[in-house]
Amino acid sequence: MSIAEVLPEPWIPKNESHREWAVLSVQAPQLAASMRRYLVQLTTFLAPRSVDVADSTLRQLARWLVAETDVAAVSDITRTHIEDYKVWLAAQPGMRGGTMAKNTQRQRLRMIRIFLERLIEWDWPDAHRRNPILHGDIPPRPEPLPKFLSDEDSAKLLAAAKAHRLPRYRLVVEMLSRTGMRATELCELADDAVSVRDGSHWLRIPVGKLRNDRMIPLHAELVPLLDEWTTRNRVHIRAQQRLMADEHRPLDRRTVHRIVATTAKKAGIGHAHPHQLRHTLATQAINRGMRLETIAEMLGHRSMDMTLIYARIANRVVADEYASVMEQVDALYKTVGTSKELPTETETPAMTRLRTEYSRMLGNGVCTRPAELDCRIESACERCAYFRTGPEFVPVLLRQRDHARDHGQSDRAVLFGSLVKRATEESA
């Protein structure tokens, strides 16, 4: 029985996979059989693209085991084999020259470790008693800051897209820039993805990387753009059951990447890719005060940890406080430079203000941000849907409300006033 007959839809192995598994099945039949059987199981709970990655990773491991060792079954893989494979993997060429990226090594070793761990959990006959790949074998996850376009470059990109002679170029760039969708999500938008609720237009983004559908509001400029697109391509959209369909071949990720890259080059901003537009929207949103919870919902993040990275790249508080403190230090240097001798205790009005900087009382400490500086995530916890308070916090809440009133912060005063009322009512 061929692997095509064994594996259920919707995952269909590529021809390259068919040919290689056929060869490996002759060279190491028991090893290949276990790996192929594992791939069948993956199709029951993973997306097809994830199964493709696992397929590629296991084929690479099987090729190396056949060429470099006498391993005939999964249970024959020893710790020594794993150590040798790690060295070999690290020396493999990367996609952009040099050796394989650490993140790629991490993904492949992690996938193999999960493969071996699942065989143990599933109690398969050729499973190990103990996983030969240890947690410490996996390179640490790199945490580079997302690359995003500046506001100026983003505007240039949109202008170049609007000026393009092909409507799909403008639609692709505007949809990615104004919704934060992934390229794959854009390609898989259903023909009925746009809906109207209470007079507002919404876009249903299909199951994506994390397999979670979501609804997001459509930007005002996208509504007429999509109306024009669907009117012009109604026949193709119905035939392909995809919103992003026209007389050309169905839109795919490669086409989306080419459209963004070509438009960026035309705009004179260098290279750009679809995910960069997603990062750009998130950065623009957090820089303009959007709450992290809202950004997470918009982008379809399952964990807030994924969203918090944008707080690192968009945190104006650090820059603002640095500028404020440097102003005080520069003033002191100027004072000292004009004085004949250094005073033992000198406190300028600027230093006094710095010493008595605004302290916002929290449940477990204080925020020492100067009063004149804006906070991009101020009262984020208190506005979160998961935030709960009670009678025991009323004294703190009252002080926070009064403090906000004293400093003319009406929005925060109303917020803490409502929390006081809620906590008081709950104690009644």
Strands 200-205 and 214-217, bridge-based pairing:
antiparallel
The reported pLDDT for the residue numbered 333 is 61
- Residues 139-163: pLDDT tens digits? 887 666 678 888 899 999 999 999 9
Neighbouring C-alpha atoms within 13 Å toward the C-beta of 378: 24
Determine phi and psi for 179, rounding to 5 degrees.
Answer: -120, -20
Within 8 A by CB and 6+ apart from 239, the residues are: 245
The reported pLDDT for the residue numbered 380 is 63
Assigned domain for 146 exists: no
163 and 308 housed in the same domain = yes
Of 257, 284, 313, the residue that ends a domain is 313
* E strand segments, 213-330: 214-217
Of 278, 313, 348, the residue that ends a domain is 313
Look up tokens 């947690």; give the residue: 135
The reported pLDDT for the residue numbered 358 is 43
The reported pLDDT for the residue numbered 68 is 96
Domain boundaries, position 203:
151-313
169 and 307 housed in the same domain = yes
Q: Residue 76 burial by CB count (10 A; 0-12/13-18/19+): exposed, middle or buried?
A: middle
Of 73, 106, 137, the residue that ends a domain is 137
3-state secondary structure of 200: strand
The reported pLDDT for the residue numbered 103 is 87
Task: Enter the pTM of the model.
Answer: 0.56
278 and 180 housed in the same domain = yes
Assigned domain for 143 exists: no
Q: What is the mean pLDDT of each run of 10 residues along the chain (428 residues)?
A: 45 76 95 95 87 94 96 96 96 86 92 96 94 91 75 92 93 94 92 88 75 80 93 92 88 93 95 92 81 83 75 56 63 54 48 48 52 55 70 82 83 85 75
Look up tokens 């059989």; give the residue: 33
- Residues 190-249: pLDDT tens digits? 999 999 888 889 999 886 544 557 888 898 889 999 999 999 999 999 999 999 998 887
Question: For the domain that residue 270 is a member of, what is the CATH number?
Answer: 1.10.443.10
